[in-house]
């Protein structure tokens, strides 16, 4: 195919994926999708290979192909108007709140590809509101599992399946609105892909698919060639000792990432299905080797991931997985970055906060008498980079969702934010300083609330590099009448009326020895 048409088609496909995401944002109901933008869209070949993906949430980067493969395995036959829906982590999903739509696109009666749209739903049932229970010991407690099912067949909604889903979630009306928005996004993608095929002809479209994947593969191979060959080991763990172990081997133009030796899966919700491990691995490789690499199936052909079944990086039933996507995914990134730092000194930053600080507060609003659930994630310190300080108070690596504005939060919930500030001195000292963590204090007003926290890097701070010191670990407190009491970073506490939850997120690791930092350039203050 001529390179001009190829460049133009590549642009058009990326544009279609972006337009699908824009359609979802526009029509979604819940703030989690609309404001925090926790969603992704992608296009696939008729065989299920990823050809284009919108630049959305990194944790969905490598995971969408698993969904499409699972849908294709479940349904050998597809007709126009069919849409498969799934969230089951061991059958194409990541964690239960992420619901993925997969639908075929046709041109003149022939299958030309698939589109997929994933969105994080605010609740899919289970033992706590928000469906990310920190105390879950098996996946059955985390909510409704949807294996690939056709929710629409030839354009007809299966009311029975929809009814079953809605009967199992806490906010059925909102779910219905968001599912409808996902369908609108899917239809946007189908329409645009069909129009493109109509313009080019199906054969030319397939040729473009192949060439785009080959192009990404060439780019990735070129990037790997520049990495010195050899085997680089690294390991890191969550606070409870759950360990991710990696041997990263660079052989010519290929990379093998072997996670053998990682901890067996555990009975608390930090296990990662293979799709999450793939996402985290791809994120780290793309960020270090070629940030502009087009994320399609070709890019990952030279990459092989070995993750033994039954471990935390390739968990199976009945392991709970809510935090695998959120917390273990960050540790997997840290481990891949740690290995790459040995292969490419001077190219890799120190460890970032390494957690998303998932906070859920639920209770009965004393003014309205209605139950509420509030969920947010809190930024922290970015690891110092070779050549510059890490960014203060920011989301890093596998997430990039927005915060909830203090004024929006207080208008909607019986809560008051008493502090939202940077933790001075929390950035790891070094020639370049790690970014600072955040302190966020929230008072529960006039009622009892249940507060769940799912966070990490509380036992040890994120590591420094090249002589840089680690960032400060996070700390979490319950403050009652001015008295601070430490609370567990993974667990649930009941808070009395007017108690304050105080979350201190980790600082990023430092880079280079602190003594080489120029005098007068504070390593503590900003």
To another protein, the closest distance from the beta carbon of 284 in angstroms equals 10
Instruction: Rule CB under 8 A: say whether 438 interacts with another protein.
Output: yes
Judged by CB under 8 A, how many residues of this single chain contact another protein?
78
* Site residues (CB under 8 A) for another protein, limited to 1-60: 2-4, 6-8, 10-12, 15, 18-19, 22-23, 26-27, 29-31, 34-35, 55, 58
* Site residues (CB under 8 A) for another protein, limited to 345-374: 348-349
Give 70 or 391: the residue with its C-beta nearer to another protein: 391
* Site residues (CB under 8 A) for another protein, limited to 156-185: 173-174, 177, 180, 184
| 192/184 Cα distance (integer angstroms) | 12
Residues pairing with 380 in the sheet: 394
| 223/494 Cα distance (integer angstroms) | 51
Stretch that binds another protein, among 123-131, 262-270, 412-420, 453-461 (CB under 8 A): 412-420
Q: Which helix (H) or strand (E) holds 196?
A: helix 172-200
Binding-residue pattern over the window 303 to 342 for another protein, x denoting contact by CB under 8 A: ----------------------------------------
Which residue has tokens 């010519």? Answer: 252
Give 89 or 381: the residue with its C-beta nearer to another protein: 381
Give 111 or 394: the residue with its C-beta nearer to another protein: 394
CA nearest to 338, candidates 271, 284, 278, 264: 284
| 263/272 Cα distance (integer angstroms) | 11
Options 385, 431, 490, 504; binder of another protein; rule CB under 8 A? 385
Exposed e or buried b for every residue in 305-328, given b needs 16+ CB within 10 A? bebeeebbbbbeeebbbbbbbbbb
Q: Which helix (H) or strand (E) holds 118?
A: strand 110-120
Instruction: Rule CB under 8 A: say whether 393 interacts with another protein.
Output: yes
Give 58 or 354: the residue with its C-beta nearer to another protein: 58
Options 137, 231, 400, 492; binder of another protein; rule CB under 8 A? 400
Give 363 or 393: the residue with its C-beta nearer to another protein: 393
Instruction: Sort strands 243-251 and 230-237 into parallel, antiparallel or unpaired.
Output: antiparallel
Binding-residue pattern over the window 212 to 251 for another protein, x denoting contact by CB under 8 A: ---xxxxx--xx----------------------------
Give 160 or 292: the residue with its C-beta nearer to another protein: 292
Instruction: Rule CB under 8 A: say whether 407 interacts with another protein.
Output: yes
To another protein, the closest distance from the beta carbon of 410 in angstroms equals 4
Q: Which two tokens stand for residue 231?
A: 């085997």
Instruction: Rule CB under 8 A: say whether 410 interacts with another protein.
Output: yes
Options 73, 260, 408, 459; binder of another protein; rule CB under 8 A? 408
CA atoms within 13 A on the CB side of 433: 20
Which residue has tokens 């030279």? Answer: 302
CA nearest to 435, candidates 466, 467, 472: 472
Strand order in the sheet with 243-251: 230-237, 243-251, 254-258, 303-306
To another protein, the closest distance from the beta carbon of 242 in angstroms equals 25
Binding-residue pattern over the window 258 to 297 for another protein, x denoting contact by CB under 8 A: -------------------------x--xxx-xxx-x---
Q: How far is CA 190 from CA 91, 107, 150, 502, in A?
A: 24, 10, 16, 46
CA nearest to 512, candidates 427, 392, 429, 396: 429
To another protein, the closest distance from the beta carbon of 243 in angstroms equals 24
């Amino acid at each position: 195919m001529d390179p001009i048409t190829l460049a133009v088609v590549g642009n058009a496909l990326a544009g279609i994926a972006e337009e699908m995401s824009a359609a979802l944002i526009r029509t979604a109901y819940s703030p989690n999708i609309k404001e925090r933008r926790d969603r992704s869209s992608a296009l696939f070949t008729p065989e299920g290979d990823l050809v284009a993906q919108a630049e959305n949430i990194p944790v969905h980067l490598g995971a969408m192909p698993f969904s499409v493969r699972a849908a294709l395995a479940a349904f050998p036959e597809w007709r126009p108007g069919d849409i498969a829906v799934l969230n089951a982590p061991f059958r194409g999903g990541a964690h239960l709140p992420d619901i993925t739509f997969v639908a075929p696109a046709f041109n003149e009666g022939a299958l030309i590809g698939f589109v997929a749209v994933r969105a994080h739903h605010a609740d899919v049932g289970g033992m706590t509101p928000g469906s990310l229970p920190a105390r879950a010991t098996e996946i059955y407690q985390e909510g409704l599992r949807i294996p690939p099912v056709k929710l629409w067949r030839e354009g007809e909604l299966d009311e029975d399946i929809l009814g079953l889903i809605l009967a199992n979630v806490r906010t059925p009306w909102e779910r219905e609105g968001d599912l409808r928005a996902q369908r609108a996004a899917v239809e946007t993608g189908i329409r645009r892909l069909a129009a493109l095929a109509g313009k080019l002809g199906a054969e030319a479209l397939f040729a473009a698919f192949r060439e785009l994947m080959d192009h990404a593969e060439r780019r990735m191979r070129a990037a790997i060639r520049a990495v010195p060959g050899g085997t680089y080991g690294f390991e890191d763990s969550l606070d409870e000792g759950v360990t991710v172990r990696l041997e990263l081997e660079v052989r010519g133009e290929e990379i093998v990432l072997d996670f053998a030796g990682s901890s067996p899966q555990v009975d608390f919700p930090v296990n990662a299905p293979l799709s999450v491990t793939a996402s985290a691995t791809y994120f780290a490789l793309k960020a270090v080797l070629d940030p502009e690499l087009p994320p399609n199936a070709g890019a990952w052909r030279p990459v092989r991931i070995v993750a033994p079944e039954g471990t935390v990086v390739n968990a199976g039933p009945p392991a709970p997985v809510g935090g695998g996507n959120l917390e273990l995914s960050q540790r997997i990134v840290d481990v891949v970055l740690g290995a790459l730092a040995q292969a490419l000194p001077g190219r890799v930053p120190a460890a970032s906060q390494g957690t998303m600080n998932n906070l859920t507060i639920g209770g009965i609003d004393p003014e309205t008498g209605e139950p509420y659930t509030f969920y947010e994630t809190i930024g922290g310190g970015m690891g110092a980079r070779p050549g510059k300080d890490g960014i203060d108070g920011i989301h890093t690596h596998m997430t990039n969702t927005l915060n909830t504005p203090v004024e929006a939060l207080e208008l909607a919930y019986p809560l008051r934010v008493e502090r939202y500030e940077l933790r001075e001195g929390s950035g790891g000292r070094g020639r370049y300083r790690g970014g600072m963590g955040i302190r966020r204090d929230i008072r529960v007003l006039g009622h009892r609330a249940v507060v769940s926290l799912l966070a990490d890097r509380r036992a040890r701070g994120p590591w420094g590099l090249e002589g840089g010191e680690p960032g400060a670990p996070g700390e979490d407190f319950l403050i009652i009448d001015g008295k601070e009491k430490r609370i567990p970073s993974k667990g649930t506490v009941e808070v009395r009326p007017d108690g304050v939850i105080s979350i201190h997120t980790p600082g990023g690791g430092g880079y280079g020895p602190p003594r080489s930092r120029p005098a007068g350039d504070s390593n503590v203050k900003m």
